[in-house]
Amino acid sequence: MTTLAVIILAAGQGTRMQSKKQKILHDVGGRPMVAHVFETALSVADRPPLLVVGPGDKGVHQLFGDRAEYVVQAEQLGTGHATRMAESILRGGFDQVLVTYGDMPLLRVESLSRLAQIQAESNAAVAILTVMGDLSSTFGRVIRDESGRVTEIIEVAEARRRPNGEELLAVAEHNAGVYCFAAEWLWDHLPELPVRQARTGPEYYLTDMIALAVAQGRLVATLTIADADESLGAGTRSELVAVEKAFRRRANERWLAAGVTLIDPETIYIDQTVIIGRDTTIWPNTFLQGDTTIGEDCCLGPNSIVRNSLIGRGCRIEQAVVEGSILNDGSEIHPFNHLMGQQATARNAKP
């Protein structure tokens, strides 16, 4: 049986966010982006995820405490260099090392598990997650030879410098940025990464491990994910909007399949931590947030907020705010009420 360790790259500051807060700490679905990635990694790894953080990090440590392990990347020298920081902790203890980014909150457990399985069964040096995209994508292109074997991953900037740049950019298969390596091969060859000149100085790119594997005649395996949303990351506020919308779509689809009626899903916001009973109906402009549980046969909204509350069966909340409260079965909160830190019954909930 193979053993798997997961590295989450969490040292980038995300300066394009124009924020005092590190980009991976911005919320999606009511939780920091990196928290979603962490929980997914925790489900597939054989040890607590290892987070590569920047010097002086406080936010990531405060978020996970002793649930995770940490290693510091003192200098921002690229993804290859960040991965190498984990060698002293992981080398010799695991058969596989999966590397992903802290700003990809839509990754599924099933995808990471399948990627690790493909690497183990094929004995590939590395298995990479790919996604089908279009010409406008900034993801690197996955280049294959006539037999279908991966020969390289070429970044967009590099593709544009080549004579056949337009042909390369038209390649539909893109690198999603998630890798599962044969552990010993990874540690043996990381020092061989070439130095690249980036905008901010020299960097070592993890994608160059693909070229090293090909040069050695080692297999580079792939898993193409059907749900392109899994590959979404957020380095800017605009990208954060796209990730949030994708997260909401997924959450709404899950509740529809579970027997909850959403009158207008695009205007309804349900945090990941919320639990909803069957045959509950949710009307437009309703927000369910935090540690909230909704019983069966309720009617919520329109224009309502329920936050960190326990709502019984058959309750009705219309154009009202309920937070930090408990509603017993059959309770009604009428329009323009704000219930905070209370326990309500069917009799005393009405104004």
What is the SS3 assignment for 187? helix
pLDDT on residue 345: 59
Q: Are residues 188 and 121 in the same domain?
A: yes
Same domain, yes or no: 224 and 265? no
Q: Could you tell me the strand order of the sheet in which 343-344 lies?
A: 275-276, 293-294, 310-311, 326-327, 343-344
pTM comes to 0.89
Is 242 part of any domain? no
Number of domains in the chain: 2
Percent of the chain at pLDDT > 90 equals 83
Residues 8 and 143 in one domain: yes
Which whole number is the average pLDDT over 254-277? 95
The yes-or-no verdict on residue 168 having pLDDT over 70 is yes
What angle, 0 to 180 degrees and rounded to 10, lies between the N-to-C axes of helices 33-44 and 109-122?
40
Q: Is there a single domain that holds both residue 313 and residue 226? A: no
- 63 and 151 belong to one structural domain: yes
Q: Is residue 241 part of a domain?
A: no
271 falls within a domain: yes
Active site residues: 16
The first and second tokens of residue 11, run together, are 């040292």
CA distances for 92 relative to 1, 70, 154, 186, 341, angstroms: 15, 18, 31, 11, 52
Rg (CA), the chain: 23
Q: Where are the alpha helices (DSSP H) in the chain?
A: 33-44, 59-64, 79-84, 87-90, 109-122, 156-161, 165-169, 183-189, 208-215, 237-257
Res. 348 pLDDT band, cuts 50 70 90: very low
Query: What pLDDT does residue 240 have?
Result: 92
The CATH number of the domain where 276 resides is what?
2.160.10.10
Indicate whether 220 and 277 sit together in one domain. no
Contact 184, 2 (CB under 8 A): no
What is residue 47's predicted lDDT score, i.e. its pLDDT? 93
pLDDT for residue 351 is more than 50: no
**12/127 same-domain check:** yes
Of 194, 213, 231, which marks where a domain is finished? 231
Question: Above pLDDT 70, what percent of the chain?
Answer: 97
- Is residue 250 within 8 A of residue 269, CB to CB? The reply is no
* Six-digit token string for 208: 């160059």
Dump pLDDT digits (tens) for 213-248.
999 999 999 999 999 999 998 888 999 999 999 999
How far apart CA 247 and CA 244 sit, in angstroms, is 5
| Backbone phi, psi, residue 175, to 5° | -80, 120
Question: Both 191 and 307 in a single domain?
Answer: no
- What band does 18 get if pLDDT is binned at 50, 70 and 90? confident
* Lowest mean per-residue pLDDT among 98-102, 195-199, 202-206, 304-308: 195-199
239 within a domain of the structure (yes/no) = no
122 and 227 within one domain: yes
CATH code for position 111: 3.90.550.10
Residue 161 lies in a domain: yes
Query: How far is the CA of 184 from the CAs of 34, 85, 190, in angstroms?
Result: 27, 15, 10
Amino acid at 340: M
Q: Which domain holds residue 317?
A: 258-344
Read off the amino acid at residue 83.
T
| Mean pLDDT of the chain, nearest integer | 93
- State which of 195, 216, 231 marks the end of a domain: 231
- Dihedral sign for Cα 79, 81, 82, 87, please: positive
Residues 320 and 198 both lie in one domain: no
Question: What's the burial of 348, exposed, middle or buried (CB within 10 Å: 0-12/13-18/19+)?
Answer: exposed
Instruction: Decide if 33 is inside a domain.
Output: yes
AA letter at 244: E
Domain final residue, candidates 189, 212, 231: 231
Q: How many CB atoms lie within 10 A of CB 248?
A: 19
Same domain, 42 and 163: yes
For the stretch 269-281, what's the b/e string if a residue is b when 16 or more beta carbons lie within 10 angstroms of its beta carbon? bbbbebebbeebe
199 shares its domain with 293: no
d(CA 197, CA 202): 5
pLDDT for 74-106, tens place per residue? 988 999 999 999 999 999 999 999 999 999 999
